[in-house]
Amino acid sequence: MKELKFLNKFLYKYRIKLIIGFFITVTARIFALIAPNLVGNSITLIENYVLSSSIDLDVLKERLVINILLIIGSALIAGVFTFIMRQMIINVSRFIEFDLKNIIYKKYQNLDFDFYKNNRTGDLMNRISEDVSKVRMYVGPAIMYTINTITLFIIVVSYMFSVAPKLTMYTLIPLPILSIIIYKISRIINIRSKIVQEYLSKLTTFTQEAFSGVKIIKTYTIEDFTNQKLEKLASDSKNKNMSLVKVQSWFFPLMILLIGISNILVIYIGGNQYMNGQIELGVLAEFIIYVNMLTWPVATVGWVTSIIQQAEASQKRINEFLNVPYKIVNKKNSKLMVDGDISFNNVSYTYKETNIKALDKISFNVKKGESIAIMGDVGSGKTTILELISRVYEPDQGNVYIGGNNISDINLNLLRDSIGYVPQSTFLFSETIENNLKFGKEDASNSEIKESIKIADLTDDINLFKDKYNTLLGERGVNLSGGQKQRLAIARAVIKKPKILILDDSLSAVDTQTEENIISNINNITKNITVFISTHRISTSKNCDKILVINNGNLESFGSHEELMKQKKTYFETYTKQSKEKDLN
Ligand SMILES: Nc1ncnc2c1ncn2[C@@H]1O[C@H](COP(=O)(O)OP(=O)(O)O)[C@@H](O)[C@H]1O
Ligand SMILES: [Mg+2]
């Protein structure tokens, strides 16, 4: 139960409700006990009337009517209290579920990018949905049934012992056996349900992919192939379901069998005792009701045990996530200003997962307001440089300075707020165009929206849409072309009015003319902004103040277009090659 300790602080938080719930449970059980007692009493009265006529028929009738009314009354009260008990304890479990989900989500939001590379989306989703709901079963139903069972057991059994100790002993014998069997069955059910669950998610993933990839399936005419795959998967899933259903079907018959055995024991042993004059007939009737009242709570002992085991396993996984340390932290909460001056001083970076040295002792200085093109082959380290500027990663060696301050001394939120980042692969939310832009600036005005769209050269495209800025994107809305997506992402970065703008190969899907328009728009508005553009196009780099050529993680050259042309190295060769291609067109 070590992992579940984490939840104690929540139980403490809602202690008032839990304590009320506890007392209500005890009261509800006491009232539930009244009914069997009255039944026993009534039968004894009838027996006395029949055997010895010791009471008047009218008196008997009157007392029976009173008993019936009392039984109805106590059942009603027990019912109301049971309702309040559920309201208290099950509600607490919903509150704790809510708290837990918030805590996990908040942790997710603050974790580093590294974490997301090492964990699959499905796992992240499972922690917050499936595992939390398993844990809820522990803080809610498990606790409630435990209180219920213990109070019922103590009250009923001690009462039974006081009335007929020997009979009580015999009737209780099958109950622990019942409890153990239920526990074993629950465990097998859990294991098999888990497998069934896995197959269900395999099936969902498969069908989802088939729907979103329907174009490929049809154009490659692989319908039969995917059909066969689905059939195989579905039939495996069916078999797993059948094996689950088989154990499940043992559950109730076994319970009924054991309850039956208990009843037979009560009738047989109690009947003998009655005939020997050791107990009254009413006691026998009362006991039959008690045995049936006890079986369900006893069965839940086994069920609750398996719930707790599952909750423990789920909470362990949740704790593992909650204990992942933040690698990139705010060392100081200093409000150092972020300024556009940036310098790299002997910066090296190696990716731990692959041991690839992406950057090797890179040094360069950039002044506020300058535009810098970063050029180099695929895999040469362009993205890595840009990610170090926004402190997605931290250098292994050397330092990055922004505005003269070491980047690790700058408040992380302030830093990221000051940077407009357009990543290499665009991601847009399934929202309207306007709302996507508002991810850049929450309170953007209409004119700001229009302006940023204009800078990204997207105005004409949007005017073609019926709903303009309210056009919904994504599956249920419009699918933008690659170039439109990239431009919208640029608008989203520009609207932030960042101090540093980073475009990581963000114009690969637009034509050269559009690219030139956008770059010149950006240069016009960005007198005070430092702009980094990773690109393969000479037409872009030519218009930048500085060009940084990187080759396999090493800085080959850094300087203006004219300077690099004179060096006659990679940049010169690329320029010559691309110019020739342009002439050919
Ligand atoms: N997340 C990562 N994990 C491991 N290796 C990576 C990762 N990202 C990039 N690399 C490697 O680092 C090198 C530089 O990559 P990158 O900076 O993305 O280059 P570029 O942007 O110039 O194409 C490449 O060899 C690449 O395979
Ligand atoms: Mg890249």
pLDDT tens for each residue of 529-571 = 889 999 888 888 888 888 999 988 888 888 888 887 888 788 8
pTM: 0.73
Nearest residue CA, atom 7 of ligand 1? 351
Tokens representing residue 199 in the block: 């197959």
**Are 255 and 299 in contact, with CB atoms under 8 Å apart?**
yes
For a pLDDT cut of 90, what percent of the chain falls above it?
A: 12
φ, ψ at 427 (rounded to 5°):
-125, 125
> What's the whole-number mean pLDDT along residues 444-472?
84
Whole-angstrom CA distances from 60 to 57, 283, 373 are: 5, 18, 103
Report how far residue 480's alpha carbon sits from residue 20's, in angstroms, rounded to the nearest whole number: 57
Q: What's the whole-number mean pLDDT along residues 458-463?
A: 83
Name the nearest CA neighbour of 539 among 564, 559, 573, 511. 511
The full set of domain ranges for the chain reads 3-322, 342-584
Q: What does the pLDDT look like over 1-25, one tens digit per residue? A: 778 888 888 899 999 988 998 888 8
The pocket of ion ligand 2, defined by CB under 5 A, consists of 382-383, 424
pLDDT over threshold 80, residue 420: yes
Cα–Cα distance, 38 to 286 (Å, whole number): 8
Mean pLDDT of 466-479: 77
Residue among 112, 113, 353, 383 to mutate when testing ligand 1 (max atoms within 8 A of CB): 383
* Residue 376, ligand 1, Cβ within 6 A: yes
pLDDT grade, residue 332 (50/70/90)?
low
pLDDT at residue 476 in the model: 65
CATH superfamily, region 3-322: ABC transporter type 1, transmembrane domain (1.20.1560.10)
Atom of ligand 1 nearest to the CA of 376: 22
Q: Is the pLDDT of residue 230 over 90?
A: yes
What is the token pair recorded at 498? 């960042």
CA–centroid distance, residue 505 to ligand 2 (Å): 7
Q: Considering only CA atoms, which of 253, 244, 254 is closest in space to residue 177? A: 254
Q: What is the third-level CATH fold of 342-584? A: Rossmann fold (3.40.50)
Count of positions (residues) in the chain: 585
CB neighbours of 215 closer than 8 A, spacing ≥ 6? none
Would you call 501 helix, strand, or coil by DSSP?
Answer: strand
Which ranges in 53-173 belong to alpha helices (H)? 57-110, 113-118, 121-126, 132-137, 143-163, 165-172
**Is pLDDT at 208 greater than 90 in this prediction?**
no
Inter-residue contact 376 to 359 (CB < 8 Å): no
The atom number, within ligand 1, closest to the CA of 359 reads 14
Six-digit token string for 108? 């997710």
Average pLDDT, the chain: 85
Binned at pLDDT 50, 70 and 90, residue 333 comes out as: low
Q: Closest ligand to 506 CA?
A: 2
C-alpha torsion 562→576→531→515, nearest 10: 130
Secondary structure letter of residue 421 according to DSSP? E
Q: Sorting pLDDT into bands at 50, 70 and 90, what band is 113?
A: confident
Evaluate: CB of 358 within 6 angstroms of ligand 1.
Answer: yes
